[in-house]
Amino acid sequence: MFWVLYGLPIVHPHSVLVVTINGAGMLIEISYILLFLLYSQGRTRLQVFLMFVASLISVGVVGSLVITLAHTHESRSMIVGIICVVLCIIMYASPLSVMKMVIQTKSVEYMPLFLSLAAFFNGVCWTAYALIRFDLYIIIPNGLGVMLATAQLLLYAIYYKSTQRQIEARRNKEEMGLAEVVVMKENGANKVGAMGVTNGR
C-alpha cells in the first residue's frame, strides 16, 4: 500500500507503472485477506483483522502527514520512499529463516522453487525500471531482493539432489512401516484362527 502512496502524482509524479502495478497487487492481497477473514475463526481472525486495520490506518496517517507537512515532491518522495525501502527489504529478507533451515537440513523441500523464481524476476524487472529512471528508492530494495532470490536459487541447485534422496528414503521407510503393519495384522489373524480351531477341538 505504501508503494501506491509513493507513486501518486502528489507524492512522486510520473510514476504511473508504480501506482497501477502495485495497486493491482494491493487489490489481490486485500481479496486474499478478506477470504481468510471469511473462513477463519476465533482469535486468528481477530488478529488478522486488527493487523489489516492497523495497516490501513498507518497508510492513511502517513499519507495525511506527508501531504500536509511536506510541501515539495522531493521531500514527500524521500519520506514515503524510505518507508517503502524498509518495508520492502523486510519482505525480501523474510525467507532468510527458510534459507537457514535449508542449509541445516540440506533439503529444499520447504522452499518452493516458483516462489524464488517469482521473487527473482520481480526484483530484476523493478531494478531495470528503476535504473532507467534512476530511482534509488526502488533500486535499493529490489537490487537486494535480486541478490537474496539468487541465493535461494543457488541453494535450490545445490541441495536439490539431496532433497530427492531424503524424500525417497522417507517414502521407502513409510512403505516398510506399512508392510510391517500388514504382516502383524496377518499374523494376528492367523493366531486368532488357530485359537478358534484349538477351542473347537
Tell me: pLDDT of 52 over 70: yes
Residue 83 maps to a domain: yes
Residue 11 maps to a domain: yes
Domain that holds residue 80: 1-92
Residue 13 maps to a domain: yes
Tens of pLDDT, residue by residue over 106-140, are 888 888 889 889 999 999 999 999 998 888 999 99
The reply to whether the predicted model has a pTM over 0.85 is no
Tens of pLDDT, residue by residue over 53-78, are 999 999 999 989 998 888 898 999 99
Query: What is the rounded average pLDDT of the residues 181-201?
Result: 53
Q: Are 36 and 49 in contact (CB under 8 A)?
A: no
Residue 169 maps to a domain: no
Residue 59 maps to a domain: yes
Residue 38 maps to a domain: yes
Residue 99 maps to a domain: no
Nearest to 5 by CA among 72, 66, 91, 90: 66
Residue 88 maps to a domain: yes
Residues in the chain: 201
Query: What is the rounded average pLDDT of the residues 23-44?
Result: 90
